[in-house]
Amino acid sequence: MNKLTNWIKNHQVTAFFILAYAITWSGLLLALYIFPGNQIVMGLSFPFLLFSPALSAMLISGIAESHPKQASSRSRWIVFILSWLFASTVLILYSWKVQKMDLTAGVIVIYCIWGLFPAWVLSSAYARTPGIRKMFSTLLKPRGSALWYLAIFLMFPGIPLLSLWITRLLGGEAQSYLDNLGFWGAVIVLLLEFLRGFFMTGGINEESGWRGFALPRLQTRYSVIAAAVIVGVLWALWHLPYDLAPDNRGPSLAWFLEYCLFWRIVFAVILAWLYNRTNGCLLVPVLFHPAMNAFGNAFFGTTICKVVFIALMIFAIVSDRYDARKGLVREEANAIRTAYSRSEFLPEPDRGEATTLLKEYVDARLAVAQAGALDKVPALLIEADRVQRQLWDMAVVNARKDMNSDVAALYVEALNEVTNLHWLRVAVGVQARIPNTIWLVLLALVALGMVAVGYQTGISGSKRTWVMLILALSFSLVIALIAELDRPQSGLITVTQQPLEDLKVWMAAGGGTR
């Protein structure tokens, strides 16, 4: 048991995915393929299949960080009872109003049992085990600006509804299964779809695992985008037995690759972006996922809508890199400040030479950042590298005079950090740009989308050309914004170098203690 526990602690993400897949795939195999149509098997297995990501994350978090345990909290039981009552009511109403089921005593009992699962997850925000409590706490204690929560509902249903309206305004065909329900009928169905999704089908049951557990751990080893794509692929494959079930199977392999894989990766990137923008708040993906399911299933099919979400994914990628570049400027300024302060320990004349070189280095780094055109950057990097080399040679000479000197070790450590951040800034700020292939794909998608909308407008005889003009202008502005964020050394939107400018002033004034 100790060996297994230690393995889980050292391989938390792997253990999570193995357990989540094992529970769901084995259960779906029983319910859909071995005992198809057996309501007893489905009724008993269904909540475990849906909640395998949340339950797996809960188990492994508890093993990884099991102590110190807190005293039992009355708040947990209050949250549990209220959540259970609300979730059970939503499930019963959904089966009655949307699925048109007869509300027999057996059906009500089944849904009351299912309601225990979301209630347990929500109340885990007050769990005694620290690993579980930490992971689920942001379900009930949100982080980040309220604007990000508003953004969720501007995306769903905002973008699909706007796309649907524009498509119909231009005379195109855009159908929704809600068209025959009337306004209030559609509102009731969508509200119940969203609430059911929040409690059972995509919200706390899945996102507690995908974004709450796996994503932050993968981001410690990979870039944000790489971690998001990994989660997106594994999220898609987790659904595979259900997507390929006889009642759900799409018309072709192309359908599977687009709707089951591609779009989940797209939304995985957007979800990661929202999650990180709110400082790792679990409530954000827990709200976004059911909104995506409820409103996306109703309104997602238009060409305009699809192009907008692809553009939004690219915007999320670029804006993350832009923020990373801003953060690296601060980190580099702090590292140079530390090296400058620790150069005080060097003997003369090296002390004076080191401070002079570090001032030159700041000037060289500012010159690189303010170069504008990329073709000027290589020559300026050579100058920064020359100063680095001189600083390092000087540090090596002083370190060799006393190999056991803690002071020399601190100065060498500071220079190492300066060098590492220099090349990290080069990689993120200069080399990490959107590839030309991606630009071509994005431009082609926008062009094809506009052609499709124009064709629909032409065959329908619509004369609302002003809508086409606004649409074209909107897409152009989005692409221009993405281009600006991707090339922050020139243009209207640039990464501020103020931390380095402030450092230059500080060094010129004597460096605080000098």
Listing DSSP states for 44-68 in one string gives HHHHHHHTHHHHHHHHHHHHHT--S
Domain-terminating residue out of 398, 429, 460: 429
Q: Look at 102-106, 206-210, 365-369, 476-480 and tell me which has the smallest mean pLDDT.
A: 476-480
Pair (292, 340) in one structural domain: no
| Contact by Cβ (8 Å): 495, 429 | yes
Residues 251 and 350 occupy one common structural domain:
no
pTM (global) more than 0.75: yes
Whether residue 145 is predicted with pLDDT greater than 70 in this model: the reply is yes
Residues 267 and 342 in one domain: no
Any domain includes 473: no
Domain tally, the chain = 2
The answer to whether residue 294 sits within a structural domain is: yes
Number of other residues whose CB lies within 10 A of the CB of residue 142? 17
* Amino acid symbol at 74: R
Res 455 pLDDT > 80: no
In a domain, 481, yes or no: no
**Residue closest to 132 by CA, chosen among 228, 197, 208, 201:** 208
Q: Does residue 333 share a domain with residue 403?
A: yes
Is 122:139 a contact under the CB 8 Å cutoff?
Answer: yes
pLDDT of res. 103: 87
Collapse the DSSP code of 180 into the 3-class scheme (helix H, G, I; strand E, B; otherwise coil) and give the result: coil
* pLDDT top residue among 321 and 170: 321
Mean pLDDT, all residues of the chain: 84
- Lowest-pLDDT range, 6-10, 86-90, 118-122? 6-10
What one-character-per-residue DSSP string does 408-425 give?
A: HHHHHHHHHHHHHHHHHH
Verify that 184 and 49 share a domain, yes or no.
yes
Per-residue confidence band for 58, with pLDDT thresholds at 50, 70 and 90: very high
228 and 347 part of one domain: no
pLDDT band for position 447 (cuts 50, 70, 90): confident
pLDDT in tens, 235-276: 999 988 887 766 665 556 667 777 788 889 889 999 999 999
Report the share of the chain in percent with pLDDT over 70.
86
Helices (H), 239-302: 240-243, 253-255, 263-277, 283-299
**Tens of pLDDT, residues 318-343:** 888 778 888 888 999 999 999 998 88
Mean pLDDT of 171-178: 68
For residues 140 and 203, what is the distance between their CA atoms, to the nearest angstrom?
Answer: 14
Residue 418: domain span: 328-429
Q: What are the two backbone dihedrals, phi and then psi, of residue 69, each rounded to the nearest 5 degrees?
A: -80, 145
Could you tell me which of 483, 438, 480, 489 has the C-alpha nearest to residue 325? 489
Q: String of b and e for 249-283 (b: at least 16 CB within 10 Å)?
A: eeeeeeebeeebbebbbbbbbbbbbbbbbbebbbb
pLDDT band of residue 453 (cuts 50, 70, 90) is low
Asked whether residue 8 is assigned to any structural domain, the reply reads yes
In a domain? residue 161? yes
Q: Which pLDDT score is estimated for 300?
A: 67
Looking at the domain assignment, is residue 128 inside a domain? yes
Domain match, 291 and 409 both? no
Positive or negative CA dihedral for 444, 450, 453, 457? Answer: negative
- 283 and 338 part of one domain: no
Is residue 232 located within the same domain as residue 361?
Answer: no
- Is residue 491 predicted with pLDDT exceeding 70? no
Which of the four pLDDT bands, split at 50, 70 and 90, describes residue 84?
Answer: very high
Q: Which of the listed residues 283, 301, 319 is the one where a domain comes to its end? A: 301
Convert 402-422 to b/e letters by CB count within 10 Å (16 or more is b).
eeeeeebeebbebbebbbebb
The answer to whether position 261 is within a domain reads yes
* Cis-peptide, bond into residue 68, ω within 30° of zero: yes
Question: How many residues are given for the chain?
Answer: 514
512 or 320, higher pLDDT = 320
What does the angle CA 180 – CA 267 – CA 233 come to, to the nearest 5 degrees?
120
Q: Do residues 227 and 162 both lie within one domain?
A: yes
Chain-centre distance for alpha carbon 110: 35
Give the pLDDT mean for 437-463: 69
Residue 314 lies in a domain: no
Judge whether 196 and 91 are in contact, CB under 8 Å: yes
Domain boundary among 264, 283, 301: 301
465 pLDDT band, cuts 50/70/90, is low
Answer yes or no: do 156 and 290 share one domain: yes
Whose CA is closest to 240, among 254, 258, 261, 226?
Answer: 261
Residues 297 and 332 in one domain: no
**pLDDT tens-digit map of 378-415:** 888 888 889 889 988 888 888 787 766 777 788 888 88
